[in-house]
Amino acid sequence: MSKHIHIHIHILGICGTFMGGIAAIARQAGYRVTGCDANVYPPMSTQLQAQGIELIEGYGTGQLELNPDVFVIGNVITRGNPLMEEIMNRNLAYVSGPQWLSDTLLRDRWVLGVAGTHGKTSTASMLAWILEHAGLNPGFLIGGVPQNFDISARITESPFFVIEADEYDTAFFDKRSKFVHYHPRTAILNNLEFDHADIFSDLTAIETQFHHLVRTVPGNGLIVANGREAALERVLQRGCWTPVELFGTPLPQAGEGLGERGWNIDGDNRVTLDGELQGILNWDLLGEHNRMNALAALAAARHVGVPTALGLAALLEFKNVKRRMEVRGVVNGITVYDDFAHHPTAIDTTVAGLRRKVGDARILAVLEPRSNTMKLGVMKEALPGSLKDADHVFCYSGNLGWDAKGALASLGDKGIVIDDLDVLIRAISAAAQPGDHILIMSNGGFGGIHDKLLRQIDKLGRHESDPDAA
């Protein structure tokens, strides 16, 4: 795939998951790719360098001497960035990541876009894996690392391309959501809640963006939508020009035929479409949200020709994305999990899923509220309720702009707020007992807390088992 070898793109903000993914597939497609970022560090930096992509630290104007054919601009870049200012002053060609991707690599492909407030990464990973398992060899760009593939982005000769369709804005010069660029023929609308308080004023503003996406899906396409979501129903009522398949519609009450409509799954994991049994979902993933994700992926895969029985067989071998309830270690009978949950709804479903798995065992929830929405404190009222299934709650309040102690006050003695990471780790270790489950939730690295905590618990365990240790 080296037909583009003489076209050189230089990516500003290359180390983000999305722009790093674009860099990887551009390189695979034969482009010469270079890039820069303020944060050139592993794992993204090593992944990119391994693919022959030259990385530059910072945004110095000397990079103009690379003389690329086009500068591709990530959405972390703002006005005032020295390199960006000089690109504009010299009237050089620049384009956003989503626009470049759409114009160059997605134009002739059957794009399957996965949109929604939650579950985009998991659902896109399931969908890509179902297509792979069926022999369709899809390309994909996913905001995490699906463990069935061990890479987050690839381009192939296949017409099918699965992309996480994000509602976050495109670039400083294009305030539309990223997903309006992708023109999916198959679109999943997984759920819709208020998020991204830094760019959206309210839920209606996000619904408008989702309707912009609906407007881009062709009449011979398919929209797969969550039938439980009033917000998505409102989006589709604004106008829809594409067939819609609903999933997770309410199961019928006595005398009602509602549950015959669309995709459903019952308590025994029997999957039905319009009331007809399609097969059984056999897997060990936790949580109702993942069952909904599976229905969406099965429906989208069926649209490109994968029979549902084959999709169910693929999900039997599905490994979830890294950082989705990933066990990081077990020490002294204490299990430490890592999860990406960073929105009260995601926190609620994650804790509830773990509660179903561990029964009466104690759950110690550890939270770092660091997403833009969380930092602004917009969600703080919903936090205590989302942590109701945990026995103890530890919240790291370092660099927070709002009063976490006040927000979690209704948890009483169950909630502990600490602004020093080392003190936090010592407090969790001291509270933990054999048989406990420690659930760490953050959408960042959280200062390497997982390994530090495992080491501290190990140290305490050895200390207690050695009567001579002082």
Last residue of a domain, one of 316, 341, 356: 316
Task: Round the average pLDDT of the chain to a whole number and report it.
Answer: 87
Q: Of the residues 99, 125, 142, which one is the last residue of a structural domain?
A: 99
Beta-carbon contacts of residue 37 (< 8 Å; ≥ 6 apart): 12, 13, 14, 15, 16, 55, 57
Please, what's the largest Cα pairwise distance for the chain? 75
pLDDT for residue 259: 44
Q: What pLDDT shows up at residue 322?
A: 56
The residue among 17 and 199 whose pLDDT is bigger is 17
Same domain as 43, residue 126: no
Instruction: Say if residue 284 is in the same domain as residue 413.
Output: no
Distances in Å between the alpha carbon of 118 and those of 9, 85, 124, 215, 462? 32, 35, 11, 21, 40
pLDDT top residue among 465 and 265:
265
Could you tell me if 79 and 151 lie in one domain? Answer: no
**What's the pLDDT band for 273 if we cut at 50, 70, 90?**
very high
What pLDDT score was predicted for residue 467?
41
Domain total for the chain?
3
Quick one: which of 398, 292, 405, 287 has its CA closest to 347? Answer: 287
pLDDT at 323: 57
CA 316, 317, 319 angle in degrees (round to 5)?
115
Residues 197 and 261 in one domain: yes
CATH code of 288's domain:
3.40.1190.10
- 195 and 127 co-located in one domain: yes
Looking at the fold, whether 138 and 188 belong to one and the same domain comes out as yes
Is residue 73 in some structural domain?
A: yes
How confident is the model at residue 376, as a pLDDT? 53
The verdict on 248 and 154 lying in the same domain is yes
Q: What pLDDT does residue 206 have? A: 84
* 47 part of a folded domain: yes
Give the tens place of pLDDT for each residue, 65-108: 999 999 999 999 999 999 999 999 999 999 999 999 999 999 99
Q: 80 and 125: one domain?
A: no
Considering the chain, what percentage of its residues have pLDDT values greater than 90? 56
| pLDDT above 70 (res 183) | yes
* The model's pTM: 0.70
Which pairing describes strands 276-280 and 270-273: parallel, antiparallel, or unpaired? antiparallel
Q: pLDDT confidence of 242, banded at 50, 70, 90?
A: very high
Please check whether residues 358 and 450 belong to one and the same domain.
yes
Q: Are residues 154 and 301 in the same domain?
A: yes
Output the domain CATH number for residue 429. Answer: 3.90.190.20
Domain that residue 154 falls in = 108-316
- Whether residue 2 lies inside any domain: the answer is no
Residue at which a domain ends, from 291, 316, 341: 316
Most confident of 2-11, 14-23, 334-343: 14-23
Residue 77 neighbours by CB under 8 Å, 6+ apart: 12, 13, 84, 171, 172
Instruction: Determine the Cα–Cα distance for residues 381 and 138; give it in Å rounded to an integer.
Output: 42
pLDDT tops 90 at residue 34:
yes
Give yes or no: residues 247 and 116 share one domain: yes
Does some domain include residue 369?
yes
The pLDDT of 439-449, averaged and rounded, is 84
Report yes or no on 3 lying in a domain: no
Residue 283 has pLDDT above 90, yes or no: no
According to the 3-state scheme, what is the secondary structure of the chain?
CCCCCCCEEEEECCCCHHHHHHHHHHHHCCCEEEEEECCCCCCHHHHHHHCCCEEEECCCHHHHHHCCCEEEECCCCCCCCHHHHHHHHCCCCEEEHHHHHHHHHHCCCEEEEEECCCCHHHHHHHHHHHHHHCCCCCEEECCCCECCCCCCEECCCCCEEEEECCCCEEECCEEEEHHHHCCCCEEEECCCCCCCCCCCCCHHHHHHHHHHHHHCCCCCCEEEEECCCHHHHHHHHCCCCCCEEEECCCCCCCCCCHHHCCEEECCCCEEEECCEEEEECCCCCCCHHHHHHHHHHHHHHHHCCCCHHHHHHHHHCCCCECCCCEEEEEECCEEEEEECCCCHHHHHHHHHHHHHHHCCCCEEEEECCCCHHHHCCCCHHHHHHHCCCCCEEEEECCCCCCCHHHHCHHHHHHEEEECCHHHHHHHHHHHCCCCCEEEEECCCCHHHHHHHHHHHHHHHHHHHHCCCCC
Kindly state whether residue 226 falls inside one of the protein's structural domains.
yes
- Do 460 and 355 reside in the same domain of the chain? yes
156-161 contacts at long range (C-beta below 8 A, 24 or more positions apart):
157/1, 159/108, 159/109, 159/110, 160/109, 160/110, 160/112, 160/131, 160/136, 160/304, 161/105, 161/106, 161/109, 161/110, 161/111, 161/112
